[in-house]
Amino acid sequence: MAQTEDVLAEYVERLFAKASLLSLAVLGHGRMLEDGCLRPDGNRLDQLQSLATELEFGLGMIHDRLTERQELA
């Protein structure tokens, strides 16, 4: 069972890293919009930003819980 949790924890870490990169990309896209480099589509940007934030938070919470369980074992 511990091996399965290790694999799951590694997978969650990779997803968390991707979510962090997505957040940075969305923020960069927002700055390009603010600078006038792109045509604004604020609604889509808000949706992407919200999704990225939720994804990052959720994965971080899962990772923390898996780490706690591993430390208690």
Over residues 1-12, mean pLDDT = 76
Domain count, the chain: 1
| DSSP, res 38 | S
Q: Mention every residue, 6+ apart, whose C-beta is less than 8 A from residue 50.
A: none
In the predicted structure, residue 34 carries a pLDDT above the cut 80 = no
Residue pair 43/6 in contact (Cβ under 8 Å)? The answer is: no
Cα gap 20→51, rounded to integer Å: 11
pLDDT of residue 73: 65
Domain span at residue 49 reads 2-72
Average pLDDT score over the chain: 79
Cα gap 66→72, rounded to integer Å: 10
Report the Cα 68 to chain-centroid distance in Å: 20
